[in-house]
Amino acid sequence: MSEVVRVALVDDQALMRAGFRALLDAEEGIEVVGEAADGEQGVALVRARVPDVALMDVQMPVMSGIEATRRIAADPALAAVRVVILTNYGLDEYVFEALRAGASGFLLKDTEPVDLLQAIEVVARGEALLSPSVTRTLIGEFVARPPDRATAPGLDRLTRREREVTALAARGLSNEEIAAHMVISPLTAKTHVSRAMTKLAARDRAQLVVFAYESGLVEARRRPAP
């Protein structure tokens, strides 16, 4: 990734795109490389400009943001592009589906400017952007249904250590926290996480979260009744 983070804006609301562009254009180290008004245009824009980050609305005409994300994630030439889903509601029905499609995280459209800028930086580094509220939503989704190993193949490819780091990453631990928990160096923890992601063809840690719960590697625990 270059020092300047290149961002594509994909949203069917012109006013929303203008607001994001005005904010990002004023920030040193961020370049808006283009705008698109629907998912199909968004995929074309991303293929043409190959940004570091694509801010993607969910509900758009012609093609949804989820389908656009799926196509971007499936294109080997766009492996370095990170998609952040823009949503009006933090706990909506699209969260889980978009993560499975390859999204690296979520942002509310009314996010504070400083949080938006930080989120772009985080995702551009290749890290997952999962807020506590979104994580709780995911866990709630997994609690509501049993694991389905058929939708999460690849568990047998992981070593015991790789399964352990995947489970810890799914619980939200950083590489440093994983290292402390397993009594290994942060570099070794990072290596285990990277190898697990490679074997599972996971784009980032968000995909590890999906895999860990879908495969039953991590079980979501129900909260005790008050």
User: Of the spans 57-66, 144-153, 170-179, which averages the highest pLDDT?
Assistant: 57-66
Closest to 35 (Cα-Cα) out of 62, 17, 57, 58:
17
Question: Which residues on neighbouring strands pair with residue 56, listed in sequence order?
Answer: 10, 85
pTM (two decimals): 0.68
Do 1 and 125 contact (CB within 8 A), yes or no? yes
Compute CA 184 distance to the chain's CA centroid, rounded to the nearest angstrom: 27
Beta carbons of 196 and 202 less than 8 angstroms apart? yes
Instruction: Report the pLDDT averaged over residues 188-206.
Output: 83
Query: How do residues 94-134 score in pLDDT, each as one tens digit?
Result: 767 777 788 887 777 777 888 888 888 878 877 666 554 55
- Comparing CA positions, the residue from 116, 44, 122, 47 lying closest to residue 81 is 47
Res. 11: pLDDT tops 90 = yes
Of 107 and 148, more confident = 107
pLDDT tens for residues 24-81?
A: 999 888 999 999 999 999 999 999 999 999 999 888 889 999 999 999 988 989 988 9
Of 1-10, 75-84, 149-158, where does mean pLDDT reach its minimum?
A: 149-158
What three-state secondary structure class fits 173?
coil
Contacts of residue 194, defined as CB under 8 A and 6 or more positions apart, other chains included, come to none
Structure tokens that stand for 81 in this block: 């592009």
Model confidence at 220, pLDDT cuts 50, 70, 90, reads low
Measured in degrees and rounded to the nearest 5, phi and psi for residue 104 equal -95, -10
